[in-house]
Amino acid sequence: MKEIVLITGAGGMIARELSKRLEKDYTVRFLTRKKQHSNEFEWDVRKGTIDEAVLENVSHVIHLAGANISEKRWTTERKEELISSRVDSAQLILKTLRKKKIKLKSFITASGINYYGTKTTDTIFTEKDAPGNDFLSEVVVLWERAADNFKEQNLAERVVKIRTAVVLSEKDGALKKMIPTIKMGIGSPLGSGKQFMPWVHIKDICSIYEFALKNSDLDGAYNATAPEHITNEDLTKNIAKILRKPLFMPNVPRFVLKLIFGELADALLEGSRASSQKIQDAGFQFEFPRLEMALEDLLKNN
């Protein structure tokens, strides 16, 4: 009999791709705001409601729920939503597990590479480093703390925190937004373009979740970022090269991004390098360790 895996954040690109991989070996369930299929169960984090049947006989939870960091300007309300969608959702699952006296084999949560702070520095961060002191690092610290509660309260045998870099996919996210402007000849790096941009191919991030699920000795935090360190300028130029489009527009000035995005602009204008050596030492192998390889795969139909 297959073990049951519950995935939150059912509408996200990682959840969609990951579920396809897991369905062969596991019975997959989803938590969603609006049920459409038999393996979906409804919840409403704001109201604190959940269909408790979703947790019956569940062995693993992969917690991917969370409002998009870069989708909207960071108003006070939006900031609260970014935290609540991650933290309150985890707390709702924990509360329900405790009520039903269910213990998971594993609670695997998305996390962010911004744990180390939004800053451009020569440091290459590892999982041993302390968190930063800006808003995004605060979000990640609270996010991971909510996950750690599952183990601390003996509701999960282990907790794995996947500190995820920018996920490259032609179907969604940053890459999809960049392709049209570069195709039209108006793409350009942001700010100085020298800010580092940790990244990971969509196939590799899904493989990391699958690896974490199937390897019970994994516990704690892992950086999910490709081994190759690139800048925003590197990414822009490589996309243009593969699409065979010229780049002649000047970099988008810092002040313009600040005007448009407010505090969110810092996440676009600054970025650090992070090491993925820990997950590699655990036995994981990246299919796309180099940016050019990743983009050639993702852009082959463009």
CATH number at residue 37: 3.40.50.720
Helix axes 202-214, 13-22, angle to 10 degrees: 50
Cα dihedral 51, 52, 57, 62 sign: positive
Residue pLDDT, tens place only, 221-263:
999 999 999 999 999 999 999 999 988 888 888 878 888 888 8
Mean pLDDT of 184-189: 86
Residue pLDDT, tens place only, 57-113:
999 999 999 999 988 899 999 999 999 999 999 999 999 999 999 999 999 999 999
Residue pLDDT, tens place only, 273-299:
999 999 999 999 999 999 999 999 999
| Within-domain flag for 134 | yes
| Within-domain flag for 177 | no
> Do 106 and 147 touch, CB atoms closer than 8 A?
no
* pLDDT reported for residue 48: 95
* pLDDT reported for residue 205: 98
Q: How many structural domains comprise the chain? A: 1
Domain of residue 98: give its range: 4-165+200-225
* pLDDT reported for residue 190: 92
* pLDDT reported for residue 257: 83
Rounded to 5°, angle at Cα 31 from 28 and 63: 80
From 213, 227, 235, 236, select the one nearest 285 (Cα to Cα).
Answer: 227
| Within-domain flag for 252 | no
* pLDDT reported for residue 197: 94
| Within-domain flag for 118 | yes
Residue pLDDT, tens place only, 127-154:
999 999 999 999 999 999 999 999 999 9
Q: Is residue 266 scored above 90 in pLDDT?
A: no
β 124-125/199-201 pair status: unpaired
- From the CA atom positions of the chain, what is the Rg in Å? 19
* pLDDT reported for residue 256: 87
| Within-domain flag for 157 | yes
Cβ count near 10 (within 10 Å): 23
| Within-domain flag for 145 | yes
| Within-domain flag for 231 | no
| Within-domain flag for 268 | no
Place of tokens 């939006």: 78
Any idea what DSSP says for residue 50? E
Q: What percent of the chain has pLDDT over 90?
A: 80
Mean pLDDT of 105-124: 93
Prediction pTM value: 0.95
